[in-house]
Amino acid sequence: MPRVEHPAGGYKKLFETVEELSSPVTAHVTGRIPTWLRGSLLRCGPGLFEVGSEPFYHLFDGQALLHKFDFKEGHVTYHRRFVRTDAYVRAMTEKRIVITEFGTYAYPDPCKNIFSRSLGWFFSYFKGVEVTDNALVNVYPVAAAREAPDCVPAVLQVDLCKYVSVNGATAHPHIENDGTVYNIGNCFGKNFALAYNIIRIPPLQADKEDPMNKSEVVVQFPCSDRFKPSYVHSFGLTPNYIVFVETPVKINLLKFLSSWSLWGANYMDCFESNETMGVWLHVAEKKKGRLLNLKYRTSAFNLFHHINTYEDNGFLIVDLCTWKGFEFVYNYLYLANLRANWDEVKRQAEKAPQPEARRYVLPLSIDKADTGKNLVTLPYTTATATLRSDETIWLEPEVIFSGPRHAFEFPQINYRKYGGKPYTYTYGLGLNHFVPDRLCKLNVKTKETWVWQEPDAYPSEPIFVSHPDALEEDDGVVLSIVISPGAGPKPAFLLILNAKDMSEVARAEVEVNIPVTFHGLFKRAYENIP
């Protein structure tokens, strides 16, 4: 990818507080919206970066703002509202930060203010711990027997701990075509040691009973460290297997439990890195809920997003967006860093773990006679898996995307048809020294890339929407919210790209700034679930 500079610092607009809208606004459309594109794009992210004179300090602290673009008969409207969480309502009522967030400590009562987060794990298991419900990371559907209003979808506060043995869940569940939801959360396993539970939430049945009442634990993965669970953001799922990647970024449970008495402590203070463990990969059979007794190991990296996972002739192919090394990438996502001038942004990014999209190949059966040999026999990958004398299987990846301080992140695929199956294409947000400045399409087989980019334009995660009559994997469009602060009176727009060649189809401009969003989904007008 060509090197692009951002000396004007327009990316700082991504981290500015905005007001919610009292009613939808009509977007100005250039180009032609495909007639089949009918429904709503929902996005979530922070929208309030300070309360009065009190600032939030980390990217994951700002109060949750839900965005909605509606598509109907070639017209587009935009609406947004803050999610009425307890954290938001209390902050607005008391005009100060009341509950501690990911990287910001709330001062009123240190005996009660401890945090947690839908981003990864949260420890609502501990009574007397006040947990933030500021869910700013993602939106995903769990069918419910109740209606949602037309303006912005209903947001229901659900405590998973009341339904199943799990303390929180990740922001990246897997959703099967029938509406079944799989997710992972931490728990206490045997002998009060920490473990990770895979949970299953069934789709809404004819009896209309709340699916949460029927949620269950499918399988439990052990933790590499009894009292220090790893940070987990996503996991892999195929028709027959579940893949959990345990990284060296750890939550120090003792620090967490004592932090209520430490003046100024927050969630970020409880992270530490295990500099010797590397990465452990765990596999379980999905239908039987049985762990495979195979010890996959590889060198250290941070992991937030799985691209896709699939099965092929006795192997699991696991494609990941990695960050090399054991230092926590979130250390570089404080707002002061992200709002810095371009030269300083680059200087900090030079020190951070470097990104790389990788393919790992996991053999599902081994023979001790193959000790010392590469077990991978698939002809299309250079990834290796070597059986060692201690019966661990050492994995070396195939690099499918790499560029100096350029990340391919927030990956999206044609999930409905190719999630958990062999695939060819993935779409990602290009991060240039942590600044999102391009949209990318990657052929994971040939490593060919296509890029959309404009000067001083800062897009968000690309959402792939398949054509209703698609015959090919990449037949559809890609949607992304873009801010372009130097482009005149309309500082933001919804971009529609042809998913085959990343050429522009249309854009819908609005006269308001739109801050950073993390994840979201497209809900077709005629679907009950996206």
Residue list for the binding site for Fe cation: 172, 233, 305, 519
- Does residue 225 sit in helix, strand or coil? coil
CA distance 234 to 242: 11
The residues near 232 (Cβ < 8 Å, ≥ 6 apart) are 120, 121, 170, 184, 186, 196, 244, 246, 247
Local structure of residue 16 (DSSP, 8 states): S
Cite the annotated binding site by residue number.
Answer: 172, 233, 305, 519
CA distance 125 to 160: 11
| CB 230, CB 300: distance < 8 Å | no
Helix or strand holding residue 90 (H, E): helix 86-94
Q: Which two tokens stand for residue 363?
A: 């053999």
| CB 335, CB 312: distance < 8 Å | no
Three-state secondary structure string covering 386-403: EECCCCEEEEECEEEECE
Q: Which amino acid is at 325?
A: G
The residues near 288 (Cβ < 8 Å, ≥ 6 apart) are none
How many other CB atoms are there within 10 angstroms of residue 183's CB atom? 26
The residues near 39 (Cβ < 8 Å, ≥ 6 apart) are 70, 71, 522, 523, 524, 525, 526, 527
Local structure of residue 268 (DSSP, 8 states): G
CA distance 407 to 394: 25
How many other CB atoms are there within 10 angstroms of residue 301's CB atom? 25
Burial status of residue 456 (CB atoms within 10 A of its CB: 0-12, 13-18, 19 or more): middle
Phi and psi angles of residue 91, each rounded to the nearest 5 degrees, phi first: -65, -40
Burial status of residue 77 (CB atoms within 10 A of its CB: 0-12, 13-18, 19 or more): middle
Helices (H) and strands (E) in the chain, counts: 5, 34
Radius of gyration of the chain (CA): 22
Nearest to 179 by CA among 214, 147, 150, 154: 214
Q: Which amino acid is at 307?
A: I
Q: Which two tokens stand for residue 106?
A: 């709330």
How many other CB atoms are there within 10 angstroms of residue 390's CB atom? 9
Nearest to 62 by CA among 83, 78, 41, 43: 83
- What residues are paired with 483 via a beta bridge? 458, 492
The residues near 152 (Cβ < 8 Å, ≥ 6 apart) are 66, 68, 79, 80, 81
